[in-house]
Amino acid sequence: MEKEDSFEDVFELMETAFPVTEIRTYEGQRALLSHPNYRIDVERDVHGQLLGFLASWNFSTFRFVEHIAVNAAIRGGGIGKKMLTTYMSSATTPIVLEVEPPNTSDATRRIEFYKRCDFHLNLFPYAQPPLREGQLKLPLNIMSYPGPLTESEFNSCKHILFTEVYKQPVSLV
């Protein structure tokens, strides 16, 4: 794994591909590299240029795709789908990821991309805890593969995400 070597490139792409509410600070993101459950898979061209990355967490009952991004100059060329399908085929546990609610054309386009990859939109109430000091909770939806989540499965995933990924207490009430 080349997380350390690729971090500068990955963080630069992360900053251009995601709003500030969806990424940690440089220091906060870099600190994840030493976490045993966190990994970053990168896709590079023959010249070593970063094409895209997939950052994920591996837990005993599911995997969580925290970020997936492709260089803006080559979006729509199949790199994101290739990275995601490779990741999907690499283990047998279910996968969850967060998406913005389908309130904008960009959000709807992203949801449709994941649906084409056989993910299911779950409409249970969910808000990502703030990733930076001073931010508010971010209303999102959870998508899951290979099937939709039951309320119990959703609550279990939410509990693990909040306590392990976001280091937040969670109320399941």
| pLDDT tens per residue, range 13-64 | 999 999 999 999 999 999 999 999 999 999 999 999 999 999 999 999 999 9
Provide the β-strand partners of residue 40: 55
Q: Which of 50, 43, 46 is nearest to 13 (CA)?
A: 50
- CA–CA dist 142, 127 (Å, integer): 10
Q: Per the structure block, which two tokens stand in for 4?
A: 């350390």
Q: Which of the pair, 91 or 98, is modelled with greater confidence?
A: 98
User: Given this model, what pLDDT does residue 1 score?
Assistant: 38
CA nearest neighbour of 65 among 106, 93, 44: 93
Mean pLDDT across 5-12: 91
Nearest by Cα to 68 from 44, 37, 43:
43
The span from the CA of 13 to the CA of 10, in Å, is 5
pLDDT beyond 50 at 140: yes
In angstroms, the CA 89 to CA 153 distance is: 21
Q: What is the pLDDT of residues 31-45, one digit of tens each?
A: 999 999 999 999 999
pLDDT of residue 91: 83
Query: How confident is the model at residue 170, as a pLDDT?
Result: 65
Cβ proximity of 78 and 67 under 8 Å:
no
- Rounded to whole angstroms, how far apart are CA atoms 111 and 118? 11
Three-state secondary structure call for residue 44? strand
**DSSP reduced 3-state for 59:** coil
Topology of domain 3-165, CATH:
Aminopeptidase (3.40.630)
Predicted pLDDT at 69: 96
Q: How far apart are the C-alpha atoms of 1 and 69, rounded to whole Å?
A: 18
Please give the average per-residue pLDDT across 75-99, as a whole number. Answer: 94
Q: Is the peptide bond before 94 cis (omega within 30 degrees of 0)?
A: no
- Rounded (10°) angle between helices 105-116 and 79-88: 50
